[in-house]
């Protein structure tokens, strides 16, 4: 049966409104804020596999919607930021890492201890614990100049524990994972252009256990990445 003109007009009005709403939502996700599903454990214990992290895509720059074209900058990356970066290997899945080095910084790793501009970053580790598979795990915190964040070290696993020193070029940053011995990061793919930062991750908005039948991780829902800030020690 043919639709009368009034119903057809009402239908097209609803369709236009839905399309407008979808455009606004997708544009907002492209430019302002979005969420990402984290598939790997390179940022443990800060981020676990299956976490959905909330990302301010406009934290550092604003782009033309659905493109890589940058319109203008909105902020400056800081050491300690958890950032989403364009996949350095050319894949479609972006990486989530911690920003360790800013332009001009000299970054070096000596047997798990991080040095920035020749200064050792404070590393406090707890006693080893045993994972479910029997592997030894060291959990602790690292103070990156003035911001403290969690780290995870696997002392019995072959890993790149000594690296550099390298100088971060102008317009680029150096990134590492908090799960130091199980992370593909700047030690392997080098520094990344600031323009490749897709945003700053601010917390976990939702989390589902990788073993699907175990369901959601309720204790990780709406969980911000809280970092302890400490005053910088003046140098003479």
Q: What is the CATH number of domain 35-229?
A: 2.10.109.10
Average pLDDT of the chain, as a whole number:
86
Contacts of 129 (CB under 8 A, 6+ apart): 136, 137, 138, 139
pLDDT at position 212 over 90:
no
7 pLDDT band, cuts 50/70/90, is: low
Measured CA distances, 62 to 28, 32, 33, 78, 103 (Å) = 11, 8, 11, 17, 20
Count of CB atoms situated within 10 Å of the CB of 222: 10
- As a whole number, mean pLDDT of residues 206-231 equals 82
Catalytic annotation, pick one of 42, 44, 57, 207:
42
Higher-confidence residue of 105 and 12: namely 105
Structural domain spans, the chain: 1-31, 35-229
pLDDT tens for residues 121-178? Answer: 999 999 999 887 889 999 999 999 889 999 999 999 999 999 999 999 999 999 999 9
Select which of 44, 57, 97, 183 is catalytic. Answer: 97
Whether 2 has a pLDDT exceeding 90, the answer reads no
pLDDT, one tens digit per residue, over 48-102 is 999 999 998 888 988 777 677 778 788 899 999 999 999 999 888 999 999 999 9
* 165 against 208, higher pLDDT: 165
Q: Give the per-residue pLDDT at 68.
A: 76
Q: What mean pLDDT comes out for the span 99-109?
A: 97
Q: Which of 51-60, 154-163, 180-189, 190-199 has the lowest mean pLDDT?
A: 51-60
| Partners of 63 in the β-ladder | 70
Per-residue pLDDT band for 109 (boundaries 50, 70, 90) equals very high
Q: Are 169 and 149 in contact (CB under 8 A)?
A: no
146 catalytic residue (yes or no):
no
DSSP collapsed to 3 states, 10-65? HHHHHHHHHHHHHHHHHHHHHHCEEEEECCCCCCCCCCCCCEEEEEECCCCEEECC
Give the closest residue to 56 by CA, choosing from 37, 94, 82, 89: 82
Percent of the chain with pLDDT over 70: 81
Q: Say whether pTM exceeds 0.75.
A: yes
Q: How much is the pLDDT for 166? A: 97
Active-site annotation holds for 228? no
């Amino acid at each position: 049966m043919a639709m009368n003109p009034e119903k057809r007009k009402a239908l097209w009005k609803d369709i236009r409104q839905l399309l407008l709403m979808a455009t606004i939502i997708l544009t907002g996700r492209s430019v302002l804020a979005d969420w990402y599903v984290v598939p790997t454990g390179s940022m443990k214990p800060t981020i676990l596999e299956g976490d959905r992290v909330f990302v301010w895509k406009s934290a550092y720059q604003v782009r033309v919607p659905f493109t890589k074209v940058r319109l203008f900058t909105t902020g400056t990356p800081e050491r300690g930021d958890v950032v989403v970066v364009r996949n350095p290997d050319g894949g479609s899945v972006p990486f989530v890492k911690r920003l360790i080095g800013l332009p001009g910084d000299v970054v070096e790793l000596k047997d798990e201890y991080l040095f920035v501009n020749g200064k050792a970053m404070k590393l406090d580790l707890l006693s080893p614990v045993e994972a479910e598979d029997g592997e030894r795990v060291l959990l602790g915190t690292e103070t990156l100049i003035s911001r403290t964040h969690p780290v995870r070290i696997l002392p019995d696993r072959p890993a790149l524990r000594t690296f550099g020193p390298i100088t971060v070029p102008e317009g680029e940053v150096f990134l590492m994972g908090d799960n130091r011995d199980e992370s593909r990061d700047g030690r392997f793919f080098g520094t990344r252009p600031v323009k490749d930062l897709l945003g700053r991750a601010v917390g976990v908005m939702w989390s589902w256990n990788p073993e699907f039948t175990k369901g959601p991780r309720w204790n990780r829902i709406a969980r911000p990445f809280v970092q302890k800030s400490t005053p910088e020690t003046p140098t003479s």
